[in-house]
Amino acid sequence: MTDRTPTPTELRTARLLLRQPRPDDVDAYLALESDPEYAHYGSRYSVDRAGMERGLARIIATPWEQRAEFAIVLEGQVIGRVVLDVDRTNVTGALGYGVARPLWGRGIASEAARAVVDYGFGTYRLAKVWARADPRNVASVRVLEKLGMQREGLLREHLLIRGERVDRVYYGILRAEWEALRLGTG
């Protein structure tokens, strides 16, 4: 890790602005999390506006060095989120992301996640970034593979989500693998 404490920052990609969430993003976050198809693969609980306001306040209050959360902004609208939960002890980061369903299949999740993975390795000097997904969510698994992540394991019936036992597949990329990809040798 670096000696200085990471602070909220903005990232820009070809199409996207990634910035710290703000309280006025609550409606966009609520729309994302309450979409039944989006929630099918990961949201454990139903959300309402009051709950989302509390959740967003907790996200904003969480120290950036522990959890860097970026709202994904496209053409001035918040259309998703990317999270990097940082384990400073083990120098790893857990990646999470979600994009509004009308924009699925446009490469937005890959573009945003790649920027945050690069940020995590560069800013936090991580040794590894990992992620988990529902293996039935083929598009999400494909995002992880596009990032250069390798499948590391499958945990069968690992979680109980909305009354259903679901598997989780784990992917990861090591610093050396990320550096090789950046140099075009991986």
Tell me what the pLDDT averaged over the chain comes to.
Answer: 92
Instruction: Identify which of 60, 100, 67 has the alpha carbon closest to the alpha carbon of residue 83.
Output: 67
Helix, strand, coil in percent for the chain, rounding step 5:
35, 35, 30
The CATH classification of domain 11-183, taken from the options 3.40.630.30, 1.10.3370.10, 3.40.50.300, 3.30.300.30: 3.40.630.30
Instruction: Give residue limits of the domains in the chain.
Output: 11-183
Contact 170, 155 (CB under 8 A): yes
Mean pLDDT value of segment 15-44: 86
Q: What is the pLDDT of residues 94-149, one digit of tens each?
A: 999 999 999 999 999 999 999 999 999 999 999 999 999 999 999 999 999 999 99
In the prediction, which pLDDT does 37 show?
Answer: 77
